[in-house]
Structure 1
């Protein structure tokens, strides 16, 4: 034409929509993707909205620069931006109607991301602030979990949708993508899985219509947010454990014998359970209720709605939550703690434990570790050289026979790998007179294996009282217990049971609570002219020292044996592990 426009006609009488589609396919550059002068940008994404039967009603299109518009088919194969009163349904309505549980997001991109991993998801057209009554009606009787964007408009939108659904949906919950993700799509792109999102939805609280969404600032706290709501104790306890397990090192808490425990180091020499232990020794403590409240308060951001200020306020973990959690013995997900070591040791499969921290294969906590070098697959020659190294600290002791020296060596080897064997005998160091070196020999065994002198306790006046003391020491996780300077015979059912069984059950002193704890302890005893009675005679090894002097305590020695052993401890531990590794490599021969 004179104006430069091109006129087109179809001699076959095809509908104009078909003509336009054919021209667009053959001459794409002549047809901008906006499909209309009023699209205000280039279309980069199209989202179909269908009715309940799956018939296309319209589209939401995303434009670049970023904006969203709605359009509908014009009846001629094209599109029109004039909606003529069309009310868009929920996104992916046919699938929504078939599902029992549905995720509601703020936009189509987030809904598609959830659908891609197999989760039914929808949104309303227009995003935040555009939720309508017919959207609510479509979710009647369904379990709904809302995942808003993590910003103020998103939180407000999530709250509005939840308020609209309350009383219509079967249940309503709100969750947020974990930091640093701002929405479901980013969460999934960052590695979020179907299982993780489903679990987050299950563990979320049922939405409380009287409370607004949590403050935006809570999203910057890396800890889990737990809302304190009256009547939702089980949910709060569940979320408390989830938060604790997500907290660094689980807050330093473990489970042991049906108790929640933690590991502390003694600031000074103490004998709280009747066992005297050196300063710096690691001790397993049953956690007190105030300490558990503090630990749970640290592990999560606890908030409670304050009606006076119409806002969420920070709170401490309620004591009832901590008490209920403590009462869930047997169902905790916390790490089980068998014992504490501060030098590499052997696992029961023969592998060497030397990585700092908690070892899930054994339940052991390795607190510190000096370098320990062990030759792979040591042979008999390596083993004999290692035995020579272990015998050096024993050279000054007046063993009455090679058998007694072998018992002392067996005590060292046992103490270094006690957690790898289910049971072990008790080692008794006997002498005809004081001052022969019995307690020093016990310290040699302990310093090599634990780095501290032997934890010692006096002999109780009777076997019953002694049983109570021994169980208290087992609770504290003492790796070695030495009953020092015994004056009566070694006997008693409790001691016999502890030496025979891999675990022992007893009553916690000062309470009616019982606990079952591992018996992975190296037991030693010292005394002059020791005697053993009853079944215990088959559970002990006797090492006798005899200086053949009237006053053995007057002997003179050069230097401090304890200091010398402490300085050579890494080499001595390596020697002990080498002997046992070589024994295993050789097939555990009887001789």
Structure 2
């Protein structure tokens, strides 16, 4: 709601303590408890009869208004509060009250008029509607009644406002019981239908034929799916719009009724015709001449079925949604109708099965597509648009209603196979190849690829040839290497090849049958351009800045951040500016899987999320754990100057302006290189990286065909430099072999090799897991022993660490030749 917040707890206390009024809590339009939208914000949240005889306690008020749930407030009228309220609900009622009732200093301005308060006379004053006989919307709220209080919110957003000084009730003018004089009954309108233009003679046959064609386009009524309302609408169309007499209406309605499930009885059909003539809106015969040239008849008031007129063949102009009665208590039946309506409405789809759970495709504040959970609120939003929810009035006519929350929850609880949502694995923002090498270039969802293409407005990609010529390949390679990447100070061809593979990966991701590694953009000095490089590499595929994932402080925080990020179906996940050693079992697991499974925060259920993103990280000479380094390839930048951010003379400056302007051509270049690789039979890359074999073969093959050297040629160098822990173990094994040879040795002896005495020929070995000044020497040695046990059977250099026989209960270790 747009209304300013009101402290309803303090307001309720003021009404009770300063004015002696009894108050109760009502629902709020933001948290309604009923199904009728017009009553939202007016319904007591619980039984309120007790508060006609006793005022609410402090505990009552705190429970109602102090728990953060939005509530409206009501004043109980009658003897306890000492007030009677006149409810004026129209301008005419306001005018009558101004003329005939005394002025009062206690008034509430309402959405339609006012509540005027008067002093209770002492004698019983019944709550009564329509106290005046001229059809005025003028009601009395006396004993047993209540009115919505100032500060509350109407379902339209209007805020009830206090008018006047609101003195103590003893200062109000008294209510006069004479105002309750019996209202003069209004004469009921004749039930005979008013004809707009009767259809004599031959016109009858034409109208019957048109009406029969209309019925052929109307779906049959189905019990539990708004069948009652649908039949009333059809009766209105026949008896009122087409102006057919009762006999013809019953004949045609019976023909249509044969298709209904179950069919109505003849008596039921006659009742429907009676209700159509009595309660249907609009003049009789509004469609008598509708098919004649130049006819401009009045609009019909009968509720539209949404079907096209059978003569004109025009598109539906009414509500084509199925009708569902919100008051139907058969939950399985209403749920089935809701799911059927949702399936029909969800075409083209916006709601998907993502990660094993329903989700909705949304746009964030930057217009970036993302998946969000289909919770109760979003599901209710969808159901309200998928079907026309109605509830019957006493006269048999239908009025709008809200989808019941029980139905919403039952839809969400239904087996995914029953709901039948399309499965989504990935959102793309530029054309990409699917797993069958088909190019997904049409915006929207593809059931074959299970991808949704959401391009930026105005993005038009040049045509990609099925067999790109050598000149096309050269042009594409030049755009990427000599324009996009030319100004970055890569330290080798391998670094540049890896950077180019980042650009290519989103377009070829579905051709990779498995996980993809973490790309680490590292440099020795801040300001070298790592963050700019990441943005430039991802811009062709995504067309915007990518949100950054901050480092986790422990495994729990890593797990939560990864799950939260993957739930949105990101195209890329970037960990920017690493400041500490990157070591996370959760991150290691996420990188080497294609499906991430984790518990949903605050629930006992798990979610299984597809992992199709590009993984990137940046940092200044960052340290990595052994587990992370094995999942990483390096892109190293080094400008070899003291202040790299002061460099100038770039080919494209500023680079991102050029990238934005040339995004369509850059996308074309990536697609062209992948298409050329496909046309040549998908030759595999020559170097394979363990755990990422498919990625190595696909991206290595694409770059080989494009004539780009260096892919995966820097792995040994990178592992030696990045995996500082493994380097420490190698140093230890060398000392171990030199000092103890192949004999058994204990942790205490090895600890002296790690932290030698000052007069030792050995320097201390650096292990990050020992860099903790808070721990004592004994605690550090214990930690070292546990990490040593984790290295069992690992090979370092020429030796393998193995377990020896225990000595006096203590673990012993020995080195054996590798191989």
Higher relative contact order (CA 8 A, sep 6+): 1
Asked if the contact 1:463–1:491 (Cα under 8 Å) also holds between the matched residues in 2, the reply is: no
Structure 2 Cα separation of the partners of residues 506 and 65 of structure 1? 64
Q: How has the CA–CA distance of structure 1 residues 162 and 496 changed in structure 2, closer, same or farther, with 3 Å as cutoff?
A: farther
Asked if the contact 1:472–1:509 (Cα under 8 Å) also holds between the matched residues in 2, the reply is: no
Q: Which residue of 2 aligns with 1:335?
A: 422
Asked if the contact 1:338–1:363 (Cα under 8 Å) also holds between the matched residues in 2, the reply is: yes
Q: Which residue of 1 aligns with 2:344?
A: 246
Instruction: Please list, as runs of the form range in 1=range in 2, the aligned pairs for 1:248-267 lying within 5 A after superposition.
Output: 249=347, 252-267=350-365
Instruction: Please list, as runs of the form range in 1=range in 2, the aligned pairs for 1:387-536 lying within 5 A after superposition.
Output: 387-391=477-481, 392-421=483-512, 422-536=514-628
Is 1:358 aligned to 2:445, yes or no? Answer: yes
TM-score (norm 1): 0.61
Asked if the contact 1:496–1:539 (Cα under 8 Å) also holds between the matched residues in 2, the reply is: yes
Is 1:585 aligned to 2:676, yes or no? Answer: no
Q: How has the CA–CA distance of structure 1 residues 326 and 65 changed in structure 2, closer, same or farther, with 3 Å as cutoff?
A: closer
Structure 1 Cα separation of the partners of residues 657 and 447 of structure 2? 34
- Cα distance, 1:147 vs. partner? 9.1
**Deviations 1:91-145, CA, capped at 9 Å, x for gaps:** xxxxxxxxxxxxxxxxxxxxxxxxxxxxxxxxxxx99869xxxxxxxxxxxxxxx
- Cα distance, 1:473 vs. partner? 0.6
Q: Which residue of 2 aligns with 1:562?
A: 656
Instruction: Please list, as runs of the form range in 1=range in 2, the aligned pairs for 1:163-174 lying within 5 A after superposition.
Output: none
**Deviations 1:356-408, CA, capped at 9 Å, x for gaps:** 11111112111224223212222555434322221121111111111101110
- Cα distance, 1:257 vs. partner? 1.5
Asked if the contact 2:351–2:421 (Cα under 8 Å) also holds between the matched residues in 1, the reply is: yes
Q: How has the CA–CA distance of structure 1 residues 393 and 251 changed in structure 2, closer, same or farther, with 3 Å as cutoff?
A: closer
**Deviations 1:398-445, CA, capped at 9 Å, x for gaps:** 111111011101111113333443421111100011111111110011
Specify which of 381, 386, 398 is matched with residue 294 of structure 1: 381
Q: Which residue of 1 aligns with 2:399?
A: 313
Asked if the contact 2:328–2:334 (Cα under 8 Å) also holds between the matched residues in 1, the reply is: no
Instruction: Please list, as runs of the form range in 1=range in 2, the aligned pairs for 1:56-455 lying within 5 A after superposition.
Output: 148-149=254-255, 158-161=263-266, 217-218=304-305, 221-247=319-345, 249=347, 252-267=350-365, 279-306=366-393, 308-331=394-417, 332-368=419-455, 369-378=459-468, 382-391=472-481, 392-421=483-512, 422-455=514-547
Asked if the contact 1:243–1:299 (Cα under 8 Å) also holds between the matched residues in 2, the reply is: yes
- Cα distance, 1:532 vs. partner? 2.2
Q: How has the CA–CA distance of structure 1 residues 381 and 310 changed in structure 2, closer, same or farther, with 3 Å as cutoff?
A: closer
Asked if the contact 2:352–2:360 (Cα under 8 Å) also holds between the matched residues in 1, the reply is: yes
**Deviations 1:21-49, CA, capped at 9 Å, x for gaps:** xxxxxxxxxxxxxxxxxxxxxxxxxxxxx
Q: How has the CA–CA distance of structure 1 residues 335 and 371 changed in structure 2, closer, same or farther, with 3 Å as cutoff?
A: same
- Cα distance, 1:340 vs. partner? 1.8
Asked if the contact 2:594–2:610 (Cα under 8 Å) also holds between the matched residues in 1, the reply is: yes
Aligned residues: 393
TM-score (norm 2): 0.45
Is 1:574 aligned to 2:668, yes or no? Answer: yes
Q: Which residue of 1 aligns with 2:788?
A: none
Asked if the contact 2:515–2:594 (Cα under 8 Å) also holds between the matched residues in 1, the reply is: yes
SS in 1 for 2:395: coil
Structure 1: runs of 5 or more not aligned: 1-62, 68-125, 131-145, 165-214, 268-278
Q: How has the CA–CA distance of structure 1 residues 494 and 384 changed in structure 2, closer, same or farther, with 3 Å as cutoff?
A: farther
- Cα distance, 1:495 vs. partner? 1.7
**Deviations 1:64-114, CA, capped at 9 Å, x for gaps:** 9999xxxxxxxxxxxxxxxxxxxxxxxxxxxxxxxxxxxxxxxxxxxxxxx
Structure 2: runs of 5 or more not aligned: 1-204, 210-246, 270-301, 308-318, 687-819
SS in 2 for 1:261: strand
Asked if the contact 2:461–2:667 (Cα under 8 Å) also holds between the matched residues in 1, the reply is: no
Structure 2 Cα separation of the partners of residues 488 and 64 of structure 1? 84
Q: How has the CA–CA distance of structure 1 residues 486 and 463 changed in structure 2, closer, same or farther, with 3 Å as cutoff?
A: farther
- Cα distance, 1:499 vs. partner? 1.8
Asked if the contact 1:480–1:521 (Cα under 8 Å) also holds between the matched residues in 2, the reply is: yes
- Cα distance, 1:261 vs. partner? 1.7
Identify, as 1 or 2, the structure richer in strand: 1
SS in 2 for 1:515: strand
Structure 2 Cα separation of the partners of residues 149 and 129 of structure 1? 9
- Cα distance, 1:572 vs. partner? 0.8
Asked if the contact 1:343–1:450 (Cα under 8 Å) also holds between the matched residues in 2, the reply is: yes
SS in 2 for 1:456: coil
Structure 1 Cα separation of the partners of residues 601 and 657 of structure 2? 36
**Deviations 1:535-583, CA, capped at 9 Å, x for gaps:** 3322211111011112212223552111111111111111111111111
**Deviations 1:507-556, CA, capped at 9 Å, x for gaps:** 23344332111100001000011222133322211111011112212223
Q: CA RMSD in A?
A: 3.2
- Cα distance, 1:217 vs. partner? 4.2
